[in-house]
Amino acid sequence: MWLVLTLLLPLSLSLGYKVEPGCDDWTLDPSSSSQVCCNKCKPGNRLVSQCGSNTKALCEPCENGTYAATLTALFCKRCTECISPLRMKKPCNAYTDTVCECVQGFLCGDKSCSFCIQECGKGEEPTENRGCRPCPAGTFNSQIHHHCVNWSSSCPSPDQQITAPGTAFSDIVCADRKPTMPTPDVKPKPGIMLVMAIICACLIISSAMPLCVAMFFKKEKTEKKPPKPVETPVAGRRLVPEPEQCSFCFPQEERGSHSSLLLDDKPFELVV
């Protein structure tokens, strides 16, 4: 209820229907004792005639849609219409013109907001013809409706270095030289090399393994063929390679050491 009243009261006043007619401040006409002259009309009135016998007739309220800009205005002015992109902020009343504002994306072009200009975003700047243009090369603007400024030519501190170039929206980016910058540059390389080394090792092992296994079984066969006296298992055991004895993969090492192994190496060499 109170809300409705508080909304309606200023509305009816602002429309100017309650404008009191007449002169507000008058003096006796020095040239005629029967007349008065109006110095100031009541707000919302225009001055019809400066001097007269009836103070109420000297001033006249402005008609709907017009307003008296001053207390001595001879004519009422037509209320301004807010035409898009202008829109009404406060309606006209008998003594104040309409107040306009600009719709979103536009800004008032002058103090009284008689026209709008396009609001320029980040990365661009206003032009003289009320438009916008992108920031020229080497400049940036990170604010709404501001002029582009030059990128910094260097970092603020000599301990810093440029880590990102400037854009239309932002200046160059600087960071401290020492602590973290060199490490990420170097670290990935050993990591990659380590991975590659592991992969190589795996490849070598996986390719050598079947050969070793083949060798192992081949030997076992040849050792088992001869009859089994008690002494031979001793010799045989010596000859049977343990699984990790991958040295058999490299026959050159074996040749000089055991003549018995040399014989077994031959088929292996053919396979290779």
Name the residue nearer to ligand NAG (CB basis): 81 or 159.
81
Residue 121: strand, helix, or coil: coil
d(CA 75, CA 130): 34
d(CA 11, CA 184): 68
How many residues bind ligand NAG (CB under 6 A)? The answer is 4
With residue 25 as reference, give the H or E element that holds it: strand 23-28
Name the residue nearer to ligand NAG (CB basis): 35 or 80.
80
Site string for ligand NAG, 143-182 (x = CB under 6 A): -------x--------------------------------
d(CA 43, CA 114): 24
Least CB distance to ligand NAG at residue 65 (A): 8
User: Hey, which residues between 202 and 231 contact ligand NAG (CB under 6 A)?
Assistant: none
Q: Which of 64, 70, 112, 245 binds ligand NAG (CB under 6 A)?
A: 64
d(CA 272, CA 269): 5
Site string for ligand NAG, 98-137 (x = CB under 6 A): ----------------------------------------
Q: Which of 25, 63, 176, 253 binds ligand NAG (CB under 6 A)?
A: 63
Q: Which of 10, 11, 17, 235 binds ligand NAG (CB under 6 A)?
A: 17
232 interacts with ligand NAG by CB under 6 A: no
Evaluate whether 218 touches 264 at the Cβ level (below 8 Å): yes
For helices 232-239 and 188-224, what crossing angle results, to 10°? 160
Name the residue nearer to ligand NAG (CB basis): 137 or 272.
137
User: What is the residue whose two structure tokens read 């088929």?
Assistant: 267
Omega of the bond leading into 182 within 30 degrees of 0 (cis):
no
d(CA 20, CA 13): 11
Name the residue nearer to ligand NAG (CB basis): 93 or 118.
93
Give residues in contact with ligand NAG (CB under 6 A): 17, 63-64, 150
